[in-house]
Structure 1
């Protein structure tokens, strides 16, 4: 990227946030902090009202705006891909809002970019690994936009939540700390005032939701990143170092699977490949390993062999 393009991109980045740290600019454009300082100074000398707070970052003075930004065809194609993902992996509220945003984006595209998008539209598809569940009127699945508002404004949420585990619906008042998407569902992490603790709520299990006018103190709660890190550490517990020897001609069948089971290292020794995994459950790993039959051999630990023998005995008792 030449310097003129970089200066324009830095200006757009500054307009996108209230405060932007110099390190953020350096990381995005892979430049040194000294270069960031020179670029910002060049923008200031060109008349752009950029302010700076020591130890905090740069900001654009209120009231200054760039003219409407034009999108390249590559950027427009990336946004189209995002729209396809939203259609499959978001709820009704976010799909609707993203659709409105895409209409605005399409309206400012040049004619050639519009034609380019139309030609791509029918040739890009996002397929879910699992099919969507049938629509259920009792779970409208349209609350993500409201939850995002509550997160941004530190507002308490009042909701009716159905637990499939207990098969009961309860009324909850919660203080949201973040949302994340995992597998096929969006999750709301919040401090539950009823249970007096942090809880993980599946968004598609919320029957009713209202964002209240009550404001909670965000500093009293942990961040989403801290919560996820804590849960990851809690769930790891004891970890087992596992080594197996697998026939080389089997490797092509587990290109992606091996990473799901905690692959750490892979080395080839003749017609075998030694795979090293870190796994919290020997039984979980054994149920995957048994699929490969005599094409796999356990190097370590010996406890895994015992688990495999138990599974084989279980199968033998079942089928013979």
Structure 2
């Protein structure tokens, strides 16, 4: 066997060891898929680790793990991995939730502590050469450590009691079962089953005024948050607009935020399709900023809403 084969084997065995360090159970089939090799090759790699004195526990066909309590020296990182950490740290500074910042900073300090001196110098030299430009809302959350609280409730399957303020500044108390969190257009949201509504709802995290874990557990396994995001999309209203091409550069950023799903260039303009839950307030108020360059094709309900909004604006302008 050639030298390249041995290098690949060493890299693969090292990666398998890292997987064993970071996961409680590692399946042979998952490793085979990850490294694009046969399961028999993975069995031989596991045997290589065992022969090197690594206490791997498990059986072929089920899963492998390191014997509980076994400690390994700190993992050393390659230069490329260190550079990816620096970039990820910049992204976290811009996009992470404030309740996660201190925890991530603490984790990064531990990572930097095991970096070789040559890489430490590189980190110092390159950190100021990377920046991320984005808009973040200035309004701070009312609750410290809110996202860790939500994630703990998911892991422990405990219901949460929250005081929530909606877009109309109306506050209510809810008992919810959290499914997951997601980030969308400058805000963090929580997807959860609301026991009051008997349905799934999404809550903007900065509108939660109070949160506490209850002792009430829930048995339902909700699965992946992406599945519930798709269900949420099914409840949205579809809107079709015909928009003059000359106004397109002025809405290029906001159109995604307001639910653009498709656009098609036609002889008469851009045919734009949206899906939104904001049919009563948010979408109409955005649309009014360029309505003189757009035609509402559907639904008729939106035309009625826009006429009502325009009449209200006209009445306010004509007041003496």
Taking structure 2 as the reference length, the TM-score comes to: 0.71
Structure 2 partner of 1:156? 159
Separation (CA, whole Å) in 2 of partners of 1:33 and 1:54: 9
Q: CA deviation at 1:185?
A: 1.3
Per the alignment, do residues 60 and 231 of structure 1 end up closer, same or farther by CA in structure 2, a change over 3 Å counting? Answer: same
Taking structure 1 as the reference length, the TM-score comes to: 0.71
- In the alignment, structure 1 segments of 5+ residues that lack a partner are 247-251, 267-271, 294-302, 305-317
Q: Secondary structure at the match of 2:70?
A: coil
Contact 1:91 1:142 in 2 (8 A): no
Separation (CA, whole Å) in 2 of partners of 1:124 and 1:54: 45
Separation (CA, whole Å) in 1 of partners of 2:254 and 2:170: 36
Separation (CA, whole Å) in 1 of partners of 2:204 and 2:91: 19
Per the alignment, do residues 125 and 208 of structure 1 end up closer, same or farther by CA in structure 2, a change over 3 Å counting? Answer: same
Separation (CA, whole Å) in 1 of partners of 2:181 and 2:72: 32
Q: Which of the numbers 71, 80, 86 marks the counterpart of 1:74?
A: 80
Q: CA deviation at 1:22?
A: 2.5
Contact 2:28 2:61 in 1 (8 A): no
Q: Secondary structure at the match of 1:181?
A: strand
Paired positions, count = 292
The more displaced of 200-209 and 52-61 is: 52-61
Separation (CA, whole Å) in 2 of partners of 1:146 and 1:278: 37
Structure 2 partner of 1:230? 231
- In the alignment, structure 2 segments of 5+ residues that lack a partner are 1-6, 277-282, 299-313, 315-320
Q: CA deviation at 1:191?
A: 1.7
Structure 1 partner of 2:150? 147
Q: CA deviation at 1:74?
A: 1.9
Per the alignment, do residues 31 and 279 of structure 1 end up closer, same or farther by CA in structure 2, a change over 3 Å counting? Answer: farther
Per-residue Cα deviation, 1:124-151 (whole angstroms, up to 9, x for no partner): 11221x3422446xx2464111112112
Separation (CA, whole Å) in 1 of partners of 2:264 and 2:32: 33
